[in-house]
Amino acid sequence: MIIKIVTVIGATGTMGANVAGIFASFGNAKVYMVGRDIEKVKRTIPKTVKSVRADSIAENLIPADFSMLEDCVKESDLVFESVTENIEIKRSIALRVGAVLKKDAISCTGSSGLSVTELAECYPEELRGNFFGIHMFNPPYSMSLCEFIATKYSRPELQEDLKAYLHNVLYRTVVEVKDSPAFLGNRIGFQFINEALQYAEKYKDNGGIDYIDAILGQFTGRSMPPLVTSDFVGLDVHKAIVENVLKNAPDYEQTTFVFPVFAQKLVAEGKLGRKSNGGLYRTIKDDNCFKRSAVYDIASGSYRDKMDYVFPFAENMKKNIRVGNYKKALEILVGNLSQEAEICMHFLLSYIVYSLYSADKIGYGVEAADDVMATGFNWCPPLALIEGIASVTDVKALVDERLDRKLLEQIDIDRLFSEVKPSKYDYRLYFKSGC
Amino acid sequence: MKEKVYILGGAQTDFERNWTKEGKNMIALLREAISDGFKNAGVTYDDVISLNQQNRVACFVGNFIAEKFVDQGHLGAFLTEIDPSFYGVPSARYEAACASSSVAIDAAQAKIQTGDYDMAIVVGWELMKTVNSKIGGDYLGRAAWYEKEGKDIDLPFPKLFGRLADEMLKKYQTDENRMMDALARISVINYSNAKRNPLAQTRKWFMSYEQARNRGTQTNPLVGGKLANSDCSQITDGAAVVILVSERYINQHGIHGKPIIKGYGHRTAPMLFDEKMADNAGSDFILPWTRQAVLDAYNMSGLTVDDINVFETHDCFTSSEYAAISAFGLTAPGKEYEAVESGLIAFDGNKPINPSGGLIGCGHPVGASGSRMLLDLYKQVTGTAGGYQVSNVKNGIMLNIGGSATTNYVFIVGEDN
């Protein structure tokens, strides 16, 4: 597949700007960057250049606005739509693109969870087969995940060629998933994150948000604690993802997708997270301009300084991870029966089971869950986590012992575990000794 | 007659990792590298215990400057922290700047050649991301004569290897455009080879000819003379383990198909860069002692450049790989660009250099680079290099240098026949 000219629609957004960089660098394509305001697009180009650390791509980036959309699309071998997550807006763009797209050109959406099939249907019949979902993660230069979504209309030869292009030319970790709400990575990731948010509410008298993050920090196999991730992504985006799954694809874990009341309130007040300086966390500058990290205290409804929690199981795990003794660290986790260690174990085991279940349902093979969580979230992927825990104890037996039996009865847990394979990822590098 | 020295196997850590960010210290690094190396070589900690009961095993640790990067010396003794099976096992640290693990390999092979030990465990390592690149660059200045060539100089090594490029232009009267173009292509080859290596530091990074050729931009600033960021290896954390064994060990365990070290060269050039350049006046080579180390290895092994199928060289900068091309005998001195332009040294060329990505692509944790190269030759000769396997490798050569090509180490690894 030869892609020489690309149009990115919605190029001033974070994803649009960064994806334009991927096409222009690895793909060496000429990229029309289309935004509402061409001056803003021009100001975005240096960010795109910086995102792949290569001035040499600047000449590949051409600013444009929506009045020029048709002219750009007509020339393009590939069109990538990355506008706001609103189905009506995306439909209106699909209609415009479909009217002028070359007959062998690719069109795709970067949507993180809307129906790709529904958008394909906005295209003239003869072009529906050219439409795909290509969901990348932020920032794509360091996160290589690319969820790939075909529809019943997709032209099989284009589908294979496009996947090969994404993998061989753009160096993406291509994971084909079904056209299901939130796709695979966000579904697994936000099940975990949202349940953590629910637990923060449940344990608000223990500290709430920072209490739960202290239990599920870097030492449990991730680059940042789950509620810091939510704060980073934004509570509005978080809310949209879990509500989409809950409404359109409820499953045995559906109660964990309910967005908590306190968080609804934060969203209503515009307290979304890092992007609005204030969400679950907030950085406070004191009179001397020193920055302090504060957290939203659910119990009191106000911000307070973050606390330094000391849990014996966590301290011991970190101490062992620091010297690379992962087996010992996991032994401590499994063997410690404090409330905090049990919460931690509950989350890790639920994550394993939900990953196996979701990969079975939405992916094509159990490895899909590993690829999405390692390369999209930087979390210890589920199969690798199974390997880690298996060095200490029988994982399936631990699941039977620790997780809610009634919940497990709703899924075919024995079959899911029988399909577990060795991971191609190394669990050791995900367990960090930090908070 | 010296005993043969076999390479049983080994492992390198993922050079993309930042161990400081992971909150892990050198013990974690060593533990992972050794346990992976043992697994690859089919060695267990119990094997170490039983070999040690007969005093048949020793450890050789290569590291340049942990005293600065992690505030720690006495590095040979730290394997005892990994596992009690190392209690009582002779172990010491070897140092020769970026060639530290080559000295460790040399000491290890010598002890097997004399019949003193049946197994020699070589570990090269460096943790460098404990400090920022400015401070790290200053620490590395101690591989030159710090007082005269390093102190109070920003990024001393890029400047020294920038001067190497200048000196080659002068000595050979090479067209500057042609040489800078070849240096850019060397960078691109290393970056692109790294994409095939799942443990390479830069495997996800973008590099193109346009980016490498366009020096002095915001994303490719000049760092030393004519050299820019794209001409440099980066600051890297990592370790590489190789396990060497005697013929007796191979026979006792009924092991087949393991390669041997066929020859080596070790030459020390004048310490100061200016004196090195003054010293080359009577030679066709810009780095005559580097060339001599290569010749020594060819002579000892009875091989010539024609017999070598794969090369791993010390591309701390593109200029050092450029100089290595003629030192290996791939071109006449002064004509190195020909090997780049013709595609000779490309991954699919007849004489591929750095299929691993080399120091620029795979990474350069300085104390680990020598053992990483030896490990890569082992992989190439045994056909276990995976995505970056070169076809039909019988013999491979490596060049590992310390300082501004002051310590020069060469090893040739090949099939045992």
- pLDDT by residue (tens digit) across A361-389? 999 999 999 999 999 999 999 999 999 99
- The distance of A74 to chain B (nearest Cα, Å) reads 28
Residue to test with chain A: of B12, B19, B24, most A Cβ within 10 A: B24
- Whether the CB of B205 is below 8 Å from some CB of chain A: the reply is yes
pLDDT band at B328 (very low <50, low <70, confident <90, very high): very high
pLDDT band at A277 (very low <50, low <70, confident <90, very high): confident
- Residues A280 and B350: their CA atoms lie apart, in Å, by 59
- Residues A243 and A267: their CA atoms lie apart, in Å, by 14
Q: How far is CA A37 from CA A49, A58, A67, A175, B1, in A?
A: 19, 19, 10, 34, 79
- Whether the CB of A426 is below 8 Å from some CB of chain B: the reply is yes
CB contact under 8 A, B23 and A429: no
pLDDT band at A286 (very low <50, low <70, confident <90, very high): confident
- Using alpha carbons, select from A156, A29, A155 the residue that is nearest to residue A80: A29
**The pLDDT of residue A138 is above 80:** yes
- pLDDT by residue (tens digit) across A184-238? 999 999 999 999 999 999 999 999 999 999 999 999 999 999 999 999 999 999 9
- The distance of A170 to chain B (nearest Cα, Å) reads 10
φ, ψ at A183 (rounded to 5°): 55, -145
- The distance of A83 to chain B (nearest Cα, Å) reads 26
- Whether the CB of A124 is below 8 Å from some CB of chain B: the reply is no
Identify the pLDDT of residue A284: 86
- pLDDT by residue (tens digit) across B186-200? 999 999 999 999 999
- Whether the CB of A37 is below 8 Å from some CB of chain B: the reply is no
- Whether the CB of B55 is below 8 Å from some CB of chain A: the reply is no
- Give Cβ neighbours of residue A65 (< 8 Å, ≥ 6 apart): A34, A35, A36, A37, A38, A41
- Whether the CB of A322 is below 8 Å from some CB of chain B: the reply is yes
Identify the pLDDT of residue B1: 64
Question: Which domains, from first to last, does chain B contain?
Answer: 5-131+236-252 (3.40.47.10)
- Whether the CB of B284 is below 8 Å from some CB of chain A: the reply is no
Q: List, as ranges, residues 296-355 from B with C-beta within 8 Å of A.
A: none
- Whether the CB of A346 is below 8 Å from some CB of chain B: the reply is no
CB contact under 8 A, B31 and A52: no
- The distance of B188 to chain A (nearest Cα, Å) reads 13
CB contact under 8 A, B206 and A28: no
Residue to test with chain B: of A25, A47, A428, most B Cβ within 10 A: A428
Residue to test with chain A: of B12, B219, B220, B230, most A Cβ within 10 A: B219
Which residues in chain A touch residue B211, judged by CB atoms under 8 angstroms apart? 54-57
- Residues A224 and A227: their CA atoms lie apart, in Å, by 8
Residues of chain A with CATH 3.40.50.720: 5-177
- Residues A331 and A342: their CA atoms lie apart, in Å, by 13
- Whether the CB of A315 is below 8 Å from some CB of chain B: the reply is no
Which residues in chain B touch residue A49, judged by CB atoms under 8 angstroms apart? 219
- The distance of B362 to chain A (nearest Cα, Å) reads 17
- Whether the CB of A325 is below 8 Å from some CB of chain B: the reply is yes
Average pLDDT of span B378-396:
98
CB contact under 8 A, A323 and B31: yes
pLDDT band at B351 (very low <50, low <70, confident <90, very high): very high
Nearest by CB: A322 against B24, B195, B214: B24
**The pLDDT of residue B302 is above 90:** yes
- The distance of A298 to chain B (nearest Cα, Å) reads 30
- pLDDT by residue (tens digit) across A331-350? 999 999 999 999 999 999 99
- pLDDT by residue (tens digit) across A36-56? 999 999 999 999 999 999 999
Nearest by CB: B32 against A50, A56, A324: A324
Identify the pLDDT of residue A292: 86
- Whether the CB of A117 is below 8 Å from some CB of chain B: the reply is no
Nearest by CB: B204 against A50, A144, A318: A144
- The distance of B14 to chain A (nearest Cα, Å) reads 9
Average pLDDT of span B4-16:
98
Q: Please report the number of interchain residue pairs, chain A to chain B, with beta-carbon separation below 8 angstroms.
A: 74
CB contact under 8 A, A324 and B81: no
Identify the pLDDT of residue A329: 98
The ipTM of this complex is 0.95
- Using alpha carbons, select from A348, A46, A392 the residue that is nearest to residue A215: A348
Nearest by CB: B214 against A55, A322, A433: A55
Identify the pLDDT of residue B130: 97
Which residues in chain A touch residue B195, judged by CB atoms under 8 angstroms apart? 171
- The distance of B415 to chain A (nearest Cα, Å) reads 30
Extract the tokens encoding B395: 């013999």
Average pLDDT of span B4-21:
98
What percentage of chain A carries pLDDT values higher than 70?
100
- Whether the CB of B28 is below 8 Å from some CB of chain A: the reply is yes
Bridge partners of residue A32, in order along the sequence: A7, A62
CB contact under 8 A, A433 and B22: yes
Which residues in chain A touch residue B17, judged by CB atoms under 8 angstroms apart? 429
What's chain B's average pLDDT?
A: 97
- pLDDT by residue (tens digit) across B202-231? 999 999 999 999 999 999 999 999 999 999
- Whether the CB of A96 is below 8 Å from some CB of chain B: the reply is no
Nearest by CB: A429 against B17, B205, B210: B17
CB contact under 8 A, B214 and A318: no
Q: Which chain A residue shows the shortest CA-CA distance from B16? A: A429
- Whether the CB of B24 is below 8 Å from some CB of chain A: the reply is yes
- The distance of A162 to chain B (nearest Cα, Å) reads 20
**3-state per-residue secondary structure call for chain A:** CCCCEEEEECCCCHHHHHHHHHHHHCCCCEEEEEECCHHHHHHHHHHHHHHCCCHHHHHHEEEEEHHHHHHHHHHCCEEEECCCCCHHHHHHHHHHHHHHCCCCCEEEECCCCCCHHHHHCCCCHHHHHHEEEEEECCCCCCCCEEEEECCCCCCHHHHHHHHHHHHHHCCCEEEEECCCCCCCHHHHHHHHHHHHHHHHHHCHHHCCHHHHHHHCCHHHCECCCHHHHHHHHCHHHHHHHHHHHHHHCCCCCHHHHCCCHHHHHHHHCCCCEHHHCECCEEEEECCCCCEEEEEEECCCCEEEECCCCCCHHHHHHHHHHHCCCHHHHHHHHHHCCCHHHHHHHHHHHHHHHHHHHHHHHHECCCHHHHHHHHHHHCECCHHHHHHHHHCCCCHHHHHHHHCCHHHHCCCCHHHHHHCCCCCCCCHHHHCCCCC
- Residues A197 and A165: their CA atoms lie apart, in Å, by 38
Q: Which amino acid is at B266?
A: H
Which residues in chain A touch residue B232, judged by CB atoms under 8 angstroms apart? none
CB contact under 8 A, A432 and B21: yes
Average pLDDT of span B156-165:
96
Q: Which chain A residue shows the shortest CA-CA distance from B29? A: A324
Class of CATH domain A5-177: alpha beta
